[in-house]
Structure 1
Amino acid sequence: MKLSGELKAFEGRLGHKFAEPELLVRAVTHSSMSSPNRDDNQRLEFLGDRVLGLVMAEALLERDRAAQEGQLAPRFNALVRKEACADVARQIDLGKVLKLGRSEMMSGGRRKQALLGDGMEAVIAAVYRDAGFEAAREVVLRLWGKRIESVKEDARDAKTALQEWAQARGQMPPEYVETARSGPDHAPQFTIEARLADGQAESATAGSKRQAEQAAATALLARVEAG
């Protein structure tokens, strides 16, 4: 199989030339483009998540040999969560080469955090299947390099940080309630309200419930920490 000019350029940005180009094609094919004769990237995404996790666990242990599990876990979560994968995907312009169905393309799929994050995991798996763990490890460490060095001790997602804030004050964990949904089925917008037991609440709207929950938690955390 010969790669298109765009995918060859992507190989350069990724830093890996595929011996089996069909693996890269599969990695950038979203389920909205799958067919009996065309595999999508969901299985590769599943594998890539695990490869990324192992690379990051090893890297964090090597970087800080004295760190305890309680210190390593939040750093690990910050580096492997979907937001981080999507940021790396944007860094190498993965969105440009994603193969999407018409509905996803029309709804801005090339910019969607979930699609970019999933695609990045699939690409990592494709490198792993093409050339083995060391090759995948090299790609991940190069692309994530500065993030690994700068990840903070208290690197937590907003929902975790808000829950810890509440528990430290004897409150129940926050609730997340969907208060509205708008837009067409192929591009919905969810409004989620994050609520604390003491009555404080903040809302946010995003293209997925997970993103809206994180955004609402971020807003509420900023409010309670501001006093």
Structure 2
Amino acid sequence: MKPGRELDAFQSRLGHRFRSPELLIEAVTHPSVGTAVRPNNQRLEFLGDRVLNLIVAEALLEADPTASEGVLAPRYNMLVRKETCAEMADEIGLGAVLRLSPGEMKTGGRRRVATLADAFEAVIAAIYLDAGYGAAKAVLLKIIGDRAATVAEDAKDPKSALQEWAQGRGEAPPDYVEIARKGPPHAPVFTIEARLADGRAARAEGTVKREVEKAAAKALLGQVTQPR
């Protein structure tokens, strides 16, 4: 089966030309349109998650041979999390070539974090099956790019940093309060406020509650650590 013009262009962006294009077609086929004769990408996503994890872990060990597990773990978590995978999927235009049902397209499936992340992992698995571990690693590390160099700073958890700041001054840990929730039930948008006991607060908005809390903590940390 030929992949078509859009997938042909996608392979150029990806930096890998498939010898078995049916693997790529499977990788971009969402469960909403998969059938018995047209497999969806869930099996590839299962494999791709493991391949991606190994490549990232190996790359971090190679980049910092003296780093301890405690140092490496947050860097690893930052690079393999769904949000980062979705960002990388967006950078290579994966959303535009996904095969989705009309209902999924109407509800923003091409931009949904979980959908993009799963498809990205499926594509990594497809490359692995098509050309081996070395090819999958080369493509993934190229897409990761500068993230590998900046992850040490990005991996610092702003919630932990804010709590340490408060406790270091004898204050209670910060609270995280859901101020608002809007949008459809399957894709809510949260507004979270991080609050200190002295009344200072900052808000953030987003679709992943844990990440919104981190963003609010980062904003509040920026306020309280500014020189007066």
Is TM > 0.5 for Structure 1 vs Structure 2? yes
Indicate conservation of the 8 Å contact 1:74/1:154, yes or no.
Answer: no
Provide the TM-score with structure 1 as the length reference: 0.81
In the alignment, which residue of structure 1 is the partner of 2:40?
40
Aligned letter for 1:218? K
Matched residue SS, 2:145: helix
2:43 and 2:163 map into 1 onto residues whose CA distance is 32
AA at the equivalent of 1:137: K
Query: Residues 103 and 186 of structure 1 are in contact (CA less than 8 Å); yes or no, is this contact kept in structure 2?
Result: no
The alpha-carbon distance between structure 1 residues 30 and 190, as it changes in their structure 2 partners (threshold 3 A), is: farther
The structure-2 alpha-carbon separation of the partners of 1:181 and 1:146, relative to structure 1 and needing over 3 Å to count, comes to closer
By how many angstroms is 1:7 displaced? 0.8
2:165 and 2:83 map into 1 onto residues whose CA distance is 22
- Counterpart of 1:129? 129
**Structure 2 gap segments, 5+ residues each:** none
Question: Which residue of structure 2 aligns with residue 74 of structure 1?
Answer: 74
In 2, the alpha carbon distance for the partners of 1:142 and 1:184 equals 36
1:116-147 deviations in Å (ceiling 9; x for gaps): 22321221122122222222111112222332
Deviations 1:161-192 (A, max 9, x none): 44554565566765544443222334432333
Secondary structure at 1:103's aligned position in 2? helix
Is the Cα–Cα contact under 8 Å of residues 100 and 109 in structure 1 kept in the other structure? yes
Deviation for aligned residue 1:65: 1.8
Q: Does 1:188 align with 2:188?
A: yes
Deviation at 1:14, TM superposition (A): 0.9
Rg comparison, structure with higher value: 2
Residue identity opposite 1:107 in structure 2:
T
TM-score w.r.t. length of structure 2? 0.81
Give the secondary structure class of the aligned counterpart of 1:71: helix
Secondary structure (helix, strand or coil) at the match of 1:31 reads: coil
Is 1:88 paired with 2:88? yes
Alignment of 1:16-27 (within 5 A): 16-27=16-27
Relative distance call for 1:60 and 1:210 in structure 2 (3 A) is same
1: CA distance, partners of 2:187 / 2:154: 34
Identity of aligned residues (%): 60
Q: For residue 6 of structure 2, what is the aligned residue in structure 1?
A: 6
Asked whether 1:219 is paired with 2:219, we answer: yes
Q: What runs of 5+ residues in structure 1 fail to find an aligned partner?
A: none
Query: Residues 184 and 8 of structure 1: is their aligned pair in 2 closer, same or farther, counting only changes over 3 Å?
Result: same
Partner of 2:140: 140
